Amino acid sequence: MNRNRSKFILLRDDDANFFTSPAALEQAYGFLFQRGLPLNFSVIPLVNTAATTQSKDFGPDTYEPFLPPDVAGPDQTYSLADNQPLVNFLQKLPNKEILQHGCEHKGDRQLYEFEATAPELLRCKLALGGDILAAAFGRRPTVFVAPQDQLSTPAYAMVAEQFQVLSLGWIDRRRLPIKLWPAYFSMKLRQRNYCRDRWHDLLITQHPGCVFSPFRNTRTELARLDDYVRRHDFTVIVSHHWEFFDRHGQWRQELHDLFKHKMLELAQACTFITFSELARQLAR
């Protein structure tokens, strides 16, 4: 990428699902919508209310915090397409990209959803999730985000066949097919945050981890983010709209103020884009 070109920011919101209200997204990102800045929504097509996380932040086997406490528990699925106000809200946003965030966001035992290895199961999940999003938004997403950014080697191979971009936290070499290891080592050598699967024309991107979270020291994280932005041509910033609310639904004003301030500062110096736009930029 041309060093003189403006740096790019990709804001990726994760976990919007059947239970998400447009009001929550508006409260978190309205200031960006007003300014016409593009966002990338990594949405869960068919959320399962038994989905759990193994995150240290919440403790093992905690129900996913994006599930309202009064619905979490039963092994039931809910299609995003059945939340028409949310679909309409997202559909009307002029600058956005819809990404496929797994299928149910529910794994099996200690494994996250796309750490599964059975080809038939993976194929089914990818197809079902894609069908739901295609029906809701009129087109099948070309960008995939695995729940918890984790996926197995077989899942990787299937995603590579079907998507143009895979957005990951960090690229785990051990989970890449061996033929991609040279591309991985080249990425490391050049200190880049992306590599390309040229067999499938797939762009694989990394991000610097969650910065805006009540579980982090946000001020320390902001310094780390600034350094990351300085060192890379583009930065994927992952945020979760639900983290701006506490367990009781109370708004975390201080966290959001830090988020808003940093986003507006970055918008002065960088260009906010979608993942599809990034793929086009890197292909030039």
Residues that bind Zn ion (CB under 5 A): 14-15, 147
Shortest separation between residue 46's beta carbon and Zn ion, angstroms: 13
Nearer of residues 15 and 221 to Zn ion, judged by Cβ: 15
Best CA proximity match to 261, nearest among 94, 32, 95, 37: 32
Shortest separation between residue 280's beta carbon and Zn ion, angstroms: 26
- Show the CA angle centred on residue 89, arms to residues 71 and 96, nearest 5°: 110
Shortest separation between residue 227's beta carbon and Zn ion, angstroms: 26
Shortest separation between residue 228's beta carbon and Zn ion, angstroms: 21
Nearer of residues 14 and 104 to Zn ion, judged by Cβ: 14
Which residue's structure tokens are 């070109």? 5
Paired tokens of 232: 């890379």
Q: Which residues contact 230 (CB under 8 A, 6 or more apart)?
A: none
What phi and psi values does residue 112 have, to the nearest 5 degrees? -75, 165
Nearer of residues 193 and 239 to Zn ion, judged by Cβ: 239
- CA distance linking residue 118 with residue 125, whole number of Å: 11
Shortest separation between residue 13's beta carbon and Zn ion, angstroms: 10
Query: Which 8-state DSSP code applies to residue 115?
Result: G
Burial tier of 210 (Cβ tally within 10 Å: 0-12, 13-18, 19+): middle
- CA distance linking residue 40 with residue 184, whole number of Å: 25
- CA distance linking residue 148 with residue 128, whole number of Å: 19
Nearer of residues 14 and 243 to Zn ion, judged by Cβ: 14
Nearer of residues 126 and 229 to Zn ion, judged by Cβ: 126
Nearer of residues 99 and 187 to Zn ion, judged by Cβ: 99
Nearer of residues 65 and 183 to Zn ion, judged by Cβ: 65
**Helix, strand or coil, per DSSP, at residue 220:** helix
Shortest separation between residue 112's beta carbon and Zn ion, angstroms: 9
Distances (CA, A) of 281 to 5, 234, 275, 276: 10, 10, 10, 9
Shortest separation between residue 105's beta carbon and Zn ion, angstroms: 6
